[in-house]
Amino acid sequence: MRNNRIIGREYEQQLFESICEEREAKMVAVYGRRRVGKTFLIKEFFHNEFDFMFTGSYETPTSLQLALFHQELQKHTKQELSIPKNWFEAFDRLRVYLSSLSKERMVLFFDELPWMDTPKSNFLTAFSYFWNNWASTRDGLKLFICGSSTSWMMDKIIGTKGGLYNRCSHSIYLSPFTLNEVEQQLQHRGIVWTRYQITEAYMIFGGIPYYIDMLDKNQPFAQNIDNLFFRQGAPLRTEYEFLFRSLFKEATLHRQIIEVLSSRGKGLTLQEIKDELGLSSGGTITKTLKDLQLCDFIRAYKSIGKQTKGMMYQLTDLFTLFHLRFLVKQTGQDQHYWTNLDEATHEAWAGYAFEMVCLHHIPQIKKKLGITGVLTNAYSWSTKPLKDKDGGEWKGTQIDLLLDRADQVINVCEMKYSKHPYAISEAYDKRLRERLFIFKHHTKCKSALHITFVTTFGLARNMYSSRVQSEVVLDNLFG
């Protein structure tokens, strides 16, 4: 069944093949953020050949959803029936149609399932009844469901305690593309760019295949960005607004958290986020942070040496970062904004965005360091200015990536985005040595600290570069 139009997704395709070979009925949930390629993967794998397929419509009333479901079913049955009055009747008609098929295997696909679950529609109850009382007993029936609302998929299908408890045989999370997969996608479309340009595209689109597919191979890189974001009527100019509306039923708090995190160059604790937003209750905000994690907007991490109570939250969605940095205050009057962007503004954004790219490619960094088989935890670490018991003053500092290895080594990763080999200056060397000293003093660390630079084109050789134990360059991130 393999389709050469599918980029990457090797694990998912192997799993699909295995599921289809099994005799028993299977319900498979594919989830992940909007535009990540869930629908494309399922349709292409099955060559768009389903015994029945239906796609939910965003913010569409139940009556119209039922009419559309009826319309799709009529294409198969050719029967002139009235529109079903409710979802129980709709699924019963689907049962009758499927029962008439003499096939060893039947494949059903329900896309954007959360959008079918409109208020007071009883959709989920009817869907559960259909699966539990008929579909799950039909050998060879494979039901694939997916939805962009990851929190709904987790609450109502994958992790539910209701009628579908433990009914989903496989839950498959579809992550954004890696740099390597983006490169493959661009090559497939005949776009020939350097890896530096591909990385910059990744820092803007965040490895979301749908956005990458909008690039025009006949336009220069900067013109592509202007056309997609800054010209009048640009297709991705309003994507951020719809992104949150489509993912979460009530997205106000989600957006507030994202915007607070985007204004900081490091993560914030739960208490710091609540203080910034003026909130006192923790239940709602904890659930919202979990939603944002599931949808790949933020990461939650522990600072090395701290327990869960010290959990930090950091914005890692590159598309969101780009939008909040460049489009929120952009009036749209300059349709060539990206082409004419000044170097200082670009460097300030690119430096932080490249750090996020590195955090998305920790397996590739480990591979280059030769520690793929070594148990390794990725941490960040920071401390505020303070005085010790002897009256000494300590500067506040942070380290964005620490690879804490089981072999008693910690790779202290410095991530630098540059058009040329990065030159360590005397001042930077001094700051780096101070940072390591403060880290070792505060954490009482017993491991060896290895300085690792992750850069675009490596380090320029000078008297300070010899202090660096290991290097990772841009090509390694494409591994």
207: left (phi over 0), alpha (psi -120 to 50) or beta: left
User: pLDDT by residue (tens digit) across 32-60?
Assistant: 888 999 999 999 999 999 999 999 998 89
Q: In 234-342, where does DSSP find H-type helix? A: 239-247, 252-262, 270-277, 283-294, 318-326
Q: In 3-state terms, what secondary structure has residue 341?
A: coil
- Looking at the chain, which residues constitute the CATH 3.40.50.300 domain(s)? 10-173
Average pLDDT over every residue of 391-416: 88
Q: Which segment, 79-83, 105-109, 270-274, is predicted with the most confidence on average?
A: 105-109
Given a cut of 70, is residue 7 above it in pLDDT?
yes
- Looking at the chain, which residues constitute the CATH 3.40.1350 domain(s)? 361-477
What is the predicted pLDDT for the residue at 11? 94
Average pLDDT over every residue of 240-255: 82
| Structure tokens that stand for 214 in this block | 């909008």
How much of the chain exceeds pLDDT 70, in percent?
A: 94
Given a cut of 70, is residue 331 above it in pLDDT?
no
Nearest-10 crossing angle of helices 343-359, 318-326? 160
What is the predicted pLDDT for the residue at 306? 61
Tally of residues, the chain: 479
Q: In whole numbers, what is the pLDDT of the chain averaged over residues?
A: 90
φ/ψ of 66, rounded to 5, equals: -65, -40
What is the predicted pLDDT for the residue at 422? 96
How far is residue 274's CA from residue 268's CA, in Å, rounded to a whole number? 10
Q: Which CATH superfamily is domain 10-173 in?
A: P-loop containing nucleotide triphosphate hydrolases (3.40.50.300)
What is the predicted pLDDT for the residue at 332? 59
User: pLDDT by residue (tens digit) across 90-120?
Assistant: 999 999 999 999 889 999 999 999 999 999 9
Average pLDDT over every residue of 342-360: 94
Average pLDDT over every residue of 167-181: 92
β-bridge pairing 141-147 and 106-111: parallel
What is the predicted pLDDT for the residue at 443? 87
CATH no., domain 361-477: 3.40.1350
- Looking at the chain, which residues constitute the CATH 1.10.10.10 domain(s)? 240-326
User: pLDDT by residue (tens digit) across 287-311?
Assistant: 889 888 888 889 888 777 665 566 8
Given a cut of 70, is residue 334 above it in pLDDT?
yes
Average pLDDT over every residue of 377-383: 87
With CA atoms as reference, report the closest residue to 158 among 174, 141, 170, 144. 170
Average pLDDT over every residue of 145-167: 80
Given a cut of 80, is residue 330 above it in pLDDT?
no
What is the predicted pLDDT for the residue at 68? 97
Q: Is the domain defined by 240-326 classed in CATH 1.10.10.10?
A: yes
With CA atoms as reference, report the closest residue to 312 among 327, 292, 298. 298
